[in-house]
């Protein structure tokens, strides 16, 4: 069997097109231009590059992008002060604080300080709780992107066995909640899981969010399963050029899976597209308007 390759780039471009249409309608009909504030503390090169792509795509979809760069010595109090100003600024509808933060700043305090209505990363305890409770929430972008990719292969996930490897607050746990909301049967695996390969082999839907290059091998995958690879790992073969690989051994797993998302070109582009979608949803909700669904049904409409 040769798996269908899930074209995250194309699916993300399609979603960004829908976001741009919604932004155009909001500006034309309501005079609202959604604005996303991105806060970067310090100069981590990977963070700089993520922030640059986020800002470019924000402007490209017709929204306003507000760039806040702070030196790496910034104190927690200074950052909390900026968050308070952004919370109060009516031209800002979404606030994103790029992680990781320097050691002197407690990320939990910062995430909790972002107004949940503007928390387009979906990391605040309020949005995490609402997601768990099955209430409408701004859900984290990478997990939403994973669900949208899986649904291009299987439009209904109801009743499917889903295995998520990884239980972080930003990927694994919210992904498990979103899968439950889609009526999948969900197992969350982690570093203490016994017989991980056997657990994975049960999955109709396998999500790998670990951060270990090519950990998931061919014999971990049930024939015909849909495999979504969240991992982003830079590897440098001896004497070779460095490249990015996922958590899944792509070439060998593609021989057995029914569908597989590549790295790069799978989940990564979806994350930014879902961030833009969340910013439009936040702008609509803050103005008391009905939120566009962007392919994800609101919680109360789910089966």
Q: What share of residues in the chain are helix, strand, coil (percent, to 5)? A: 45, 15, 40
Active site residue 229: no
Q: At what angle do helices 8-30 and 45-60 cross, to 10 degrees?
A: 50
Say whether residue 108 binds ligand NDP (CB under 6 A): no
x/- track of binding to ligand NDP for residues 137-176 (CB under 6 A): -----x----------------------xxxx-xxx----
How far CA 101 is from CA of 4, 40, 74, 113, in Å, comes to: 38, 8, 10, 14
Comparing CB distances to ligand NDP, the nearer of 35 and 268 is: 268
Active site residue 121: yes
Q: Are 19 and 27 in contact (CB under 8 A)?
A: no
- Say whether 205 sits in a helix, a strand or coil: strand
Binding ligand NDP (rule: CB under 6 A), the pick from 79, 210, 249, 280 is 210
- Say whether 293 sits in a helix, a strand or coil: coil
Exactly one of 18, 118, 119, 121 is catalytic; name it: 121
Comparing CB distances to ligand NDP, the nearer of 62 and 174 is: 174
- Give the CB-nearest residue to ligand NDP: 168
Q: Is the peptide bond before 100 cis (omega within 30 degrees of 0)?
A: yes
Say whether residue 104 binds ligand NDP (CB under 6 A): no
Count, residues near ligand NDP per rule CB under 6 A: 25
Write out the catalytic residue numbers.
Answer: 54, 98, 121
Query: Footprint of ligand NDP on this chain (CB under 6 A)?
Result: 142, 165-168, 170-172, 189-193, 196, 209-212, 230-233, 267-268, 271
């Amino acid at each position: 069997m040769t798996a269908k390759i899930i074209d995250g780039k194309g699916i993300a471009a399609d979603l960004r097109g829908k976001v741009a249409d919604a932004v155009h309608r909001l500006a034309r009909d309501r005079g609202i231009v959604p604005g996303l504030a991105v806060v970067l503390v310090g100069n981590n090169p990977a963070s700089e590059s993520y922030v640059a792509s986020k800002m470019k795509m924000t402007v490209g979809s017709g929204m306003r992008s507000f760039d806040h760069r702070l030196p790496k010595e910034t104190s927690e109090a200074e950052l909390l002060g900026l968050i308070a100003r952004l919370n109060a600024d009516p031209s800002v509808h979404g606030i994103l604080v790029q992680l990781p933060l320097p050691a002197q700043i407690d990320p939990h305090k910062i995430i909790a300080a972002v107004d949940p209505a503007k928390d387009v990363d979906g990391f605040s305890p309020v949005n995490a709780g609402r997601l768990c409770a099955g209430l409408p929430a701004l859900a984290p972008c990478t997990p939403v992107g994973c669900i949208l990719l899986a649904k291009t292969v299987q439009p209904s996930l109801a009743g499917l066995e889903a295995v998520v490897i990884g239980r972080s607050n930003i990927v694994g746990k919210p992904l498990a909640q979103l899968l439950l909301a889609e009526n999948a049967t969900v197992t969350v695996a982690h570093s203490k899981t016994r017989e991980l390969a056997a657990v994975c082999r049960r999955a109709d839907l396998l999500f790998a969010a670990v951060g270990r290059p090519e950990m998931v091998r061919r014999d971990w995958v049930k024939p015909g399963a849909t495999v979504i690879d969240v991992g982003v790992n830079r590897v440098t073969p001896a004497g070779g050029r460095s490249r990015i690989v996922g958590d899944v051994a792509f070439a060998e797993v593609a021989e057995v899976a029914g569908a597989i998302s590549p790295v790069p070109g799978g989940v990564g582009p979806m994350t930014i597209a879902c961030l833009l979608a969340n910013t439009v949803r936040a702008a609509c909700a803050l103005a008391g308007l009905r939120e566009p669904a962007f392919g994800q049904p609101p919680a109360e409409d789910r089966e």
